[in-house]
Amino acid sequence: MEGFRDIRIRVLILVVLLCGALILVRGPKWGIDITGGSRIILELQGSKVTLNFAWTPDNEEIDNLIVGLRENLNTFVVSLDTYEEVMRNRQITLEIGKTVTENQISQYLGEGISVGEITKEIPKAMQEEVMKTLNLRVDPYGILGTQFKPLGTNFVLFEVSLPLERASKLLGHQGRIEVFVENELALRGGDLADVGPVRRDPAGVYYVPFEVTSEGAERFARASEGKAGYPGVIYLDRPDDSILLFTEEFKSKLSEDGYYHDPELEGAEYDDNARMFRLQSRGGNAHWFYVQVPAVEIRGDSIPPESLEYLEGQKGVKSKVIYLGDLNELSENVVQGENLVYNGKPLFPIENVSRLKEELTTQWLRRVAGVKSWPVISEEIAGKLENIRTGLRITTGSSQEAEKEAEDLRVILSQRLPVEVSRVSETEIEPRLGRGFLREAAKAGAVAFLAVGLLVYVRYRRLKIAVPIMITMACELIITLGIASVIPSMTFGLPEIGGLIAVIGTGVDHQIIITDEVLAGMSPEGKLPIKRRVGRAFSIIFAAAATTIAAMFMLATLGFGAMRGFAIITILGVLISVLITRPAYAQIIGTLLTRETKRE
């Protein structure tokens, strides 16, 4: 038994037991081919706008126009023309990261500047940038088998092996952050400079720290001066181009939830004069704050006169209305197709955002309005320019779900989009290979495993050789699956399964090389010490492994889609074989054959 107590064999046994436990606890994560996933179609909401000048503008006037629109529209704005072209043509073409109307643009233009053509158009380069950024959100390492492609100029299709709810959350946000202090916009989306890792404070609350630009810090300092103890209300993708519609039933449930059920709020109500909802934070220093999205009441079969007057006044200023409920609740007097109507004439495009299962009415409102958190402004932050740049944070709560939410929020803010996006459709997709594929694949794998063992036995006619090779193959498979199960975002689809097969195939080749060298060393013609024979075999194995790793490394680095997973599994398996399983097999086969020779 002395030979079997070798450190190499002990390491193999220990690693196999550890990886077996990992498989039982975590298990390999199967990809979209095996277990299905999510299919989401996104619409990119951008505009191409032409503005005409009544005079020849200079460089400073052109820059001031772009900066003013960028701040007032709170989105990406860039000129597609050079200064010379603008001055020569007295015309500028702008690319804007949201859908805009003539009225929305006109209110921010000075005299002598008129709006020309507006088209809903996304340049191809912008579309590709958005797809790349979204892919980094859901598949940062390129090993989830995510597939995406453009549909026309304004739509993108994503298929990813994530649950629909999480895929929708990661893909369906632009990542535009805003902070309001007492109804004043203190930070804009462009003020975000950097996002830190998720952290947890001494009270157990998870939060995402973020840094802001110097300009943003100055604006926040002015807004927060003397406001210590007030909430700084943080929004993510606030629907600033929308009006919320609600019913009397929604309003009554809102108050009930706000006062008695929502653990994060002390109260909730609707302010008729401001046409906004108000929420009250909890704690000893509770404050009311407005939800910065206008809202008006609607009935199931009509629009109240005061609501109708407000809606008509907002035509051209707002782009759509969002109904807090199911559109089927509204009659044809109010909704026809995709439009809110009055006397049969369209007022606004209408969307609905339904309440999620077990979601409180206040939580529903906050989700639709983009309210993420409302941390209290501390004395160290209020008006203190030197502390603001790195002292702001978004809190998510203290539960395990809050930690996941914070991590998703960090990903969204780190990978911000230049344009707004909206979800056109969301569907779960069935496994491409069928639900019985894993079962059938396991049967085929077992047959192949036995077939390899039979061929090895036919070659050597010795169970003492065939059985260790079979056991080593099984150990290699367990170790590879165990380590792969703890790699972040690693899923197993067809490419990864192909990598496993390749690893096992090369592993058998290496073991045959070792076995042949050991047997040759024991023959009268080629009598050499076992160690020297094994060393000769390993020189061949290391050379073969190095070339395989080099080729697979290039494939993983270049990242040809799903082939990256194949390359990573192959590299992982080859490293496991040359570092763990091959040395252990060489010791096992050397010990067995040496004992056999001594007995003879």
Radius of gyration for the alpha carbons in the chain, expressed in angstroms and rounded: 32
Question: Listing from the earlier edge strand, what are the strands of the sheet with 113-119?
Answer: 77-79, 91-96, 47-53, 113-119
Please name each of the domains of the chain with its CATH number.
2-34+433-599 (1.20.1640.10), 37-169 (3.30.70.3100), 170-411 (no CATH)
Q: How far apart are CA 503 and CA 482, in angstroms?
A: 15
The model's pTM is: 0.78
Q: What is the pLDDT of residue 190?
A: 82
Q: How confident is the model at residue 295 (pLDDT cuts 50, 70, 90)?
A: very high
Q: What is the pLDDT of residue 245?
A: 96
To which H or E segment does residue 256 belong? helix 248-260
Q: How confident is the model at residue 65 (pLDDT cuts 50, 70, 90)?
A: very high
Q: What share of the chain is helix, strand, coil (3-state, %, to 5)?
A: 50, 25, 30
Residue position matching structure tokens 């290699």: 476
Q: By three-state DSSP, how is residue 490 classified?
A: coil
Q: What is the pLDDT of residue 46?
A: 86
Residue 180 has pLDDT above 80, yes or no: yes
Residue 599 has pLDDT above 70, yes or no: no
Q: How far apart are CA 166 and CA 404, in angstroms?
A: 10
Q: What is the pLDDT of residue 3?
A: 53
CB-based contacts of 114: which residues, under 8 Å, 6+ apart?
51, 52, 54
In the beta sheet, which residues pair with residue 318? 315
Q: How confident is the model at residue 371 (pLDDT cuts 50, 70, 90)?
A: very high
Highest mean pLDDT pick, 134-138, 520-524, 593-597 = 134-138
Residue 257 has pLDDT above 90, yes or no: no
State the average pLDDT for the chain: 85
Q: What is the pLDDT of residue 597?
A: 61
End-to-end CA distance of the chain: 18
Say if CB 85 and CB 101 are below 8 A apart: no
pLDDT digits (tens, 9 = 90+) for 130-166: 999 998 898 887 777 788 888 888 899 988 888 888 8
Tell me, what DSSP letter sits at residue 289? Answer: E
pLDDT digits (tens, 9 = 90+) for 186-212: 998 888 888 999 999 888 889 999 898
Q: How far apart are CA 454 and CA 436, in angstroms?
A: 27
Q: How far apart are CA 467 and CA 345, in angstroms?
A: 80
Residue position matching structure tokens 């103890």: 229
To which H or E segment does residue 3 belong? none
pLDDT digits (tens, 9 = 90+) for 207-228: 999 898 888 889 899 999 988 8
Q: Who has greater pLDDT, 144 or 466? A: 466
Residue position matching structure tokens 């702008």: 94
Q: By three-state DSSP, how is residue 419 classified?
A: coil
Residue 275 has pLDDT above 60, yes or no: yes
Q: What is the pLDDT of residue 229?
A: 87
Residue 319 has pLDDT above 70, yes or no: yes
Q: How confident is the model at residue 398 (pLDDT cuts 50, 70, 90)?
A: confident
To which H or E segment does residue 272 belong? none
Q: How far apart are CA 94 and CA 119, in angstroms?
A: 11
Say if CB 415 and CB 133 are below 8 A apart: yes
In the beta sheet, which residues pair with residue 244? 295, 322
Q: How far apart are CA 101 and CA 107, in angstroms?
A: 11
Tell me, what DSSP letter sits at residue 291? Answer: -
Residue position matching structure tokens 């109904």: 323
Question: Listing from the earlier edge strand, what are the strands of the sheet with 242-246?
Answer: 295-297, 242-246, 320-323, 345-352, 339-342, 335-336
Residue 395 has pLDDT above 90, yes or no: no
pLDDT digits (tens, 9 = 90+) for 407-450: 999 999 989 988 888 888 888 888 777 667 777 777 877 887 88
CB-based contacts of 5: which residues, under 8 Å, 6+ apart?
none
To which H or E segment does residue 391 belong? helix 385-391
Q: By three-state DSSP, how is residue 264 classified?
A: coil
